[in-house]
Amino acid sequence: MVAEEIRTFGAIQVMIGLINFALGYIWIRLFIRQYTSFSLTYIPLTLFSGYPFWASLIYVISGIFAIEAEKKRYPILLEYTIRMSINSVALSVAGQLIILFEITLFLVKHVKSQWSHQSGIILSVYLWMFSLVELILAKKVAKWGIKTIDNTSYNI
């Protein structure tokens, strides 16, 4: 992979982290303002798990490590980049499962959805899409880190 690609992937990971945080904030605002309409009809597991917030932190840190590791190529930075990318992959998979479970729980109930439910599903779908993109990027960055370590024969 070209060096600029890894920097770009790292920058995109940072942006995805910030977008996840923003979507989580919007989710909180929606839930607080429309608490009575959610009740037991729609249970926002994604919001209750805190996924948008802890995922955004991990994604941003992972992206920063990817950018710095590509610039400096220190063995310790490469190791941290690989570890954080693997954490991002695991977190993305966990987030996708939580979101799919949330949406499935709501759709199985067959209740008439209100605008707040539809907005919640849209926010969850956006979170799902961004976690899918993060999964792909983090996987590529981890592969790059492992390949770089193998090619330069660093002893980590």
Domains of the chain and any CATH numbers: 3-148 (1.20.120)
Q: Residue 73 — left, alpha, or beta (φ > 0 → left; ψ -120 to 50 → alpha)? A: left
Q: Are 12 and 80 in contact (CB under 8 A)?
A: no
Write the CA distances from 80 to 16, 63, 77, 85, integer angstroms. 19, 11, 5, 8
Q: How many helices (H) and strands (E) does the chain have?
A: 6, 0
pLDDT tens for the chain, residues 1 to 156: 566 788 999 999 999 999 999 999 998 888 888 777 666 677 788 888 999 999 999 999 999 999 998 888 788 898 999 999 999 999 999 999 999 998 888 888 776 767 777 888 899 999 999 999 999 999 999 998 888 887 775 444
Q: What are phi and psi of 44, to 5 degrees?
A: -75, 80
